[in-house]
Amino acid sequence: MKYKAQFVPGSTVISQNRKKYMDPTYKLKQLRSLSDEDIVLVLGHRAPGEDFKSVHPPLDELGEPDCIIRELVEPTEGAKAGDRIRYVQFTDSVYFAPITPYQRAWAYYHRYRGIDTGTLSGRQIIEARERDVEKYAKELIETELFDPARTGIRGRTVHGHAVRLDENGLMFDAMRRYMYDEVSGEVKYVKNMVGEPIDRAVSVGKPLADEELEKMTTMFRADGVSVREDQEVLDIVNAVHWGRTFGGYMSVNREGQ
């Protein structure tokens, strides 16, 4: 029998969003379009038009000995070419960002190959071969997993996810990598993700309305959908915290026996 992933528990809109974002068979909705050059400018790993730097020759030129694992695992395009490892990192606002750092990790591992990822407070990094990173970043920025106001592309000085929003609804960014264009209503990046000025502004589109974000988010909130509204999730959360609190000290049940 073929294994079928169960993803996450729950029946509320929050749980349903978590399930579909993790499910690789679900096609993420494209909300905006960026050119390949736009992605290169915002990431800042190489100049537009510059060749990918490599750390080893293409795999088909290496002449490696036969290996059953190599036969079983199809390398990514970046691995085939010998690309160096690069990264993209996102910061997600606590104010109804489409997705949260931990859910990013869950979604990444189900959707992408050849990656390493890590979660730190309000940020989530994804590392992979350079051309693979650009491919993944393009999808993550163009689709419903990104909002111009509540999601930040930040390689360093990432803090601000829990700070109040500005008058245009944008998450605070100490390095001022992006700005709100009063004329077009779009958010434009004027620096790359590590805060270096770029040759031209890159538009990532208009911020979504709060009503739309509340339908898309994976975040339980007291002023949105509370975890208490999803009994299946609440039962698991309680069981996990109970076990983590008491399991390290002694083996007891909830009655203290």
User: Could you read off the pLDDT of 157-203 as tens digits, one per residue?
Assistant: 999 999 999 999 999 999 999 999 999 999 999 999 999 999 999 99
Question: Domain for residue 136, yes or no?
Answer: yes
Residue holding tokens 């590392």?
A: 127
| pLDDT value at residue 155 | 96
| pLDDT value at residue 34 | 98
Instruction: Based on the fold, state whether residues 213 and 247 are members of the same structural domain.
Output: no
Instruction: Based on the fold, state whether residues 109 and 233 are members of the same structural domain.
Output: no
Instruction: Based on the fold, state whether residues 205 and 102 are members of the same structural domain.
Output: yes
Instruction: Based on the fold, state whether residues 47 and 103 are members of the same structural domain.
Output: yes
Instruction: With H, G, I as helix, E, B as strand and everything else as coil, classify residue 231.
Output: helix
Question: Domain for residue 5, yes or no?
Answer: no
d(CA 38, CA 189): 10
Instruction: Based on the fold, state whether residues 59 and 130 are members of the same structural domain.
Output: yes
Question: Domain for residue 6, yes or no?
Answer: no
Instruction: Based on the fold, state whether residues 215 and 230 are members of the same structural domain.
Output: no
Q: What is the tally of structural domains in the chain?
A: 2
The mean pLDDT of 94-115, rounded to a whole number, is 96
Phi, psi at 2, each rounded to 5°: -70, 135
**Bridge partners, residue 88, by sequence:** 126
Q: Which domain holds residue 237?
A: 226-257
Question: Domain for residue 34, yes or no?
Answer: yes
Question: Domain for residue 3, yes or no?
Answer: no
The predicted model scores a pTM of: 0.91
Question: Domain for residue 102, yes or no?
Answer: yes
CATH code, domain with 62: 3.90.320.20
**Bridge partners, residue 189, by sequence:** 178, 202
Other C-beta atoms closer than 10 Å to the C-beta of 33 total 11
pLDDT band at 86 (very low <50, low <70, confident <90, very high): very high
Instruction: Based on the fold, state whether residues 81 and 182 are members of the same structural domain.
Output: yes
* Whether the Cβ atoms of residue 140 and residue 84 lie closer than 8 Å to each other: no
The torsion of the CA quartet 144, 149, 151, 152, rounded to 10 degrees, works out to 140
Instruction: Based on the fold, state whether residues 203 and 248 are members of the same structural domain.
Output: no
Residue holding tokens 């509340």?
A: 214
Instruction: Based on the fold, state whether residues 190 and 77 are members of the same structural domain.
Output: yes
Instruction: Based on the fold, state whether residues 236 and 127 are members of the same structural domain.
Output: no
Higher pLDDT pick, 103 / 237: 103
d(CA 141, CA 31): 9
Question: Domain for residue 247, yes or no?
Answer: yes
| pLDDT value at residue 207 | 97
Instruction: Based on the fold, state whether residues 22 and 98 are members of the same structural domain.
Output: yes
Residues of the chain with pLDDT > 70, as a percent, come to 96
Instruction: Based on the fold, state whether residues 112 and 74 are members of the same structural domain.
Output: yes
The mean pLDDT of 27-49, rounded to a whole number, is 97
Question: Domain for residue 4, yes or no?
Answer: no
